[in-house]
Structure formats: structure tokens, C-alpha cells
Amino acid sequence: MRVIIVALDGLDYYLAVKWKLRDILQKQYHRFKISERYYHEKEKIPYSPKIWSSFLTGLPPDQHNVRSWWEYHPLLEKIRHFPIIRHVPNKRRVLWKLGIKGRIVKVKSSTLIDDFDESCVVWFPGYNDSTELHERLSKAFYKGLKEYEREIWRVHRERSERTFKMLTTKWKLFMTYFDLADLLGHIYLPKRLYELKIAYLRLNKLVYRMKREIDRSIDVDENYVFLIVSDHGMREDGRHSDYAFYSLNFENPKIVIDDFTEFRELIKRLSMDESLHNLMKKEYR
């Protein structure tokens, strides 16, 4: 059984329901509360690097030990997490001015990708996300809001193009990641809800197109698991909310996930479960 995973960073469950995004919500969906162990140490809100690393590894944050988006030389990593330094603002910007650049964190533990013989992973956090894309976003942020918004959309287009290009390759597991809802949610909430809706509709259409492309490229009798995961929602003030959700393209009441560490085992089990064949029904075929 093939498995497709689409990670939609910061896509809010209640907005998806409100705007009737059926391609994202799919046949079965479930919202769950996020444990405080996934919170940012300082801001006390759900923190994506911890969450996606647990999703990949099946390990809690204190075992995979990912605490930030960026990583540097091992010695500098130890120093910058000292209590006296940890809460200093704009550390990364200061380091950049000193000519010290980091890279996007990669987990050191094994991941669910290791459970598959053939996989294709498009710029996924904690595994192979693009440092260059995040650097561009950071630089645009300091240039002003308008430039930052333009860069967010440019990065989204590049992620989309890369996704559809790689979708036609050979794989048993396909994973891709989009941060459009999170980045624009911070900007648009609460006053620019209509513009945020446009972004959500764009993501909904992207999922629809992915399914159409997969249906065209695989054998007519072949089924697949299509899993969509959002790592957190967004509060009205534009900060991360303490709930996440996922959806599946088939219905099975026995499947209920309430923690990010549970996804790895579920994905492995679904990929090998031949009994799913009779439960699955293609939406677009």
C-alpha cells in the first residue's frame, strides 16, 4: 500500500471546517489537544520543530532532543542553550551579522522514512527541509511586511512545483510540507481573514490536484493512504493554538491518534495492511 503524507503547518481545524475544505478534511478527520511537552521553552505555545521531529521519529521531544529550527556547530549549540543565553532575543540575527550561519535542524534518530524501501521526501522539517528557503524568508521578514508576504508566496510556489515534479517519480512513501497557513496566519489574523481564506483554498486545491495526479499515475486497481497532518491551529491573535488535527482518505473508527509519537507506528501498519483494500474508495476515480 502506498502512503502519501502532506504536512500543513499551522492549518487551523476550525477554519478548515468553517470554509468547508473537503479535500483537506477528507473522509475521516480528528482534532486532538497538544501536550505541553511540545511547547516552546520560552513562549509556551506548540513549537513546530519539536512536533515534526516527534512525528518523524515516534519519539517524545526529550528523546529526539530537537529544540529549535536552526542548528550550528556542536559547541555553539551547547552555549546558546545555556539558561543565561537561551532567552536573549534575536540571537540568530546577531550570529548572521558575525558571519555565523546555521542550517535547518535534522533529527539524529531513525525516522518513519527508514521503514520504507522506496521513499520521496520533499523538503520536510527535521529530515531534509531547505535551509535556503528559510534563509530567504528570514531576510525578507527584516525588509518589511510586504516583501515578507511576497516571499512567503514565492516559497509556497517553489514547494508546490517541487512536490508535483517529484510526485511522478517511483516511491512507496511520499512526503511533502507546506508552511503557507502558518506564516500567513501570523500576519492575517485577526483582521485579514478573507486573505487567509484565499491561502486555505489554495492549499485545498493543491491537495485535490495531488490526488488527481496520483490517480493518473498509478495502476487502476491500486489504492493508497492519503494522510494530512496539521501540527497546530491558530488563535484569533495569530499565535499557535494548542490543538492539531489529521485526516485520512478512508474511514476506520478504530484509528484514533492523540499524540504525534503515534503516527510512525500507524503509518507503518497502514502501509502493510492489505485489509484496507476493501475500505478504501477513491474520491476522484
Helices 180-188 and 145-167: crossing angle in degrees, nearest 10, is: 160
Burial (Cβ within 10 Å: 0-12, 13-18, ≥19) of residue 33: exposed
Span 159-188, pLDDT tens digits: 999 999 999 999 999 999 999 999 999 999
How many helices (H) does the chain have, and how many strands (E)? 12, 8
pLDDT at 285: 38
Q: What is the pLDDT of residue 283?
A: 42
Ranges of residues in the chain whose predicted pLDDT is under 50: 281-285
Instruction: Summarize pLDDT for 60-112 with one digit per residue, the tens.
Output: 999 999 989 988 755 555 565 556 555 666 655 666 665 657 889 999 999 99
Cα–Cα distance between 118 and 120 in angstroms, integer?
A: 7
Question: Contact, 208 vs 6, CB < 8 A?
Answer: no
- The DSSP string of 225-238 is EEEEEES--B-TTS
Q: What is the pLDDT of residue 102?
A: 82
The closest alpha carbon to 137, from 158, 120, 121, belongs to 158
Q: How far is Cα 154 from Cα 64, in angstroms, rounded to an integer?
A: 32
